[in-house]
Amino acid sequence: MHNDLKKLLLAQFLTAMADNAILFVAVALVMQGALQGDWYIPALQGCFLIAFVVLAPWVGTFADTTSKPRVLLLANLIKAVGASMMILGVEPLLAYAMIGIGAATYSPAKYGILPELTHSESSLMKSNSWVEGSTIVAILLGTVVGAKIADQSIIIALYFVLTIYLLSALITLWMSKLPAAHIREKKGALGSFSATVKTLLNTPAARFATFGVCIFWSAAVTLRLIIIAWAPVTLLLTTSEDISLLTLFIALGIAIGALLAPIFIPMHQLRRTRLAAYGLGLSVLVLMFTDDLNAVRALLFFAGLCGGIFIVPINALLQEIGHQTVGSGHAVAVQHFFENIAMLVATGFYTWSVSAHIPATTAMFTLGSFILLATTIIAFKLPKEG
């Protein structure tokens, strides 16, 4: 494995862990009564996601026209500012929005650097599986550790997050200063972004990958929010730590699925991804009829496994297409633009359902049905070959 890839994996592991730890700090604040309203957690998620949509035209160009390790460094420092804002008592919605700006800057460089560090489709797939797998393990660890520390002390949890962001920034500083992949274009960020969108959506495989990530991430963010509301009612869980442990099984499933993806779905057999998406949808539907804790854990693990197998080939495909055409950073920024619009829409619908007092089981049924229907629609238009 390339030395810079090892450093990237470690830096990404730390920053993803901090991203999720600070979310469950906010969950703890809500459950302890410091923040009021069932709407607060989905609103917090929305504040994080909006930067991916608003900044998409600029962060892709920035990633491709700047040394990517330096982009990663800057993004971590922006996240550290967000954590510092929360420590200083700034409204958590604003602080988490700042962390979202850092994350939106970080992602095109994180994924866009992979084709620059690999030399074949198979090594790109493996690199993606390692990034996704390690990220999910970090999400798992950050969720559990963040919730556990926050249940004891909010301020200690926040300082823990700040330290992790700064450590991740330090690691990216040690990466090689790779040259910029592209020269800045005269058409500007908006013009370049528009041209990238047209190029990718006119390519059948890239179009499928774009819609595929929209399905996966809108389902993932909604499922996590539903579990936060559903678990106390159905499973009688009462602390943020107990609820966070449920997400452990989703994360573990995604991590293992990500590592298995290159074995089950090589790049030239992309059609197989639809089977994993169907498995994800069915597991969510079955979950709504389950109130046994061990059965819930098994279903969440299976949902994560299917999700990991589904998302890794799609990410690798889009990066490869972008690297060969418009630039991998541009392609990833466009991918995140669409997937985060999908997540914002999904979060908005869920926030509305909470305010309308729609039961969490009904929301879960709607989510499972959506996954199955959307997968059927995009599978109908799947290219014959990846």
What mean pLDDT do residues 307-335 have?
77
What mean pLDDT do residues 63-71 have?
85
Q: Is the dihedral of CA 40, 41, 46, 49 positive or negative?
A: positive
- Find out whether 329 and 108 touch, Cβ atoms under 8 Å: yes
Model pLDDT, residue 357:
83
The CATH code belonging to domain 3-175+189-380 is 1.20.1250.20
Q: Which two tokens stand for residue 122?
A: 């198979």
Tell me the per-residue pLDDT of 256-292, one tens digit each, with 9 for 90 and over: 888 888 888 776 677 788 888 899 999 999 988 888 8
pLDDT at 371 over 80: yes
- Find out whether 17 and 139 touch, Cβ atoms under 8 Å: yes
Q: Is the dihedral of CA 106, 338, 126, 67 positive or negative?
A: negative
pLDDT at 386 over 50: no
**14: helix, strand or coil:** helix
Cα 361 off chain centre by: 24
* pLDDT, the chain, mean: 82
Which range (187-191, 219-223, 230-234, 354-358) has the least confidence? 187-191
What mean pLDDT do residues 191-199 have?
78
- Of the segments 103-117, 119-133, 160-174, 265-279, which one has the largest average pLDDT value? 160-174
Q: Give the C-alpha distances (Å, rounded to integers) separating 300 from 31, 42, 168, 237, 385.
A: 23, 20, 29, 16, 31
Between residues 42 and 76, which one has the greater pLDDT? 76
Residues 6+ apart with CB under 8 A from 372: 278, 281, 282, 285
**203: helix, strand or coil:** coil
Model pLDDT, residue 240:
66
pTM of the model: 0.70
Q: 130's torsion region: left (phi>0), alpha (psi -120 to 50) or beta?
A: alpha
Which of 93, 130, 116 has the alpha carbon at shortest distance from 323? 116
Model pLDDT, residue 120:
64
Torsion of CA 167, 172, 173, 175, to 10 degrees: 140
Share of the chain above pLDDT 90, in %: 17
pLDDT at 187 over 80: no
- Find out whether 104 and 335 touch, Cβ atoms under 8 Å: no
What mean pLDDT do residues 58-67 have?
82
Alpha carbon distance 246, 238 (integer Å):
12
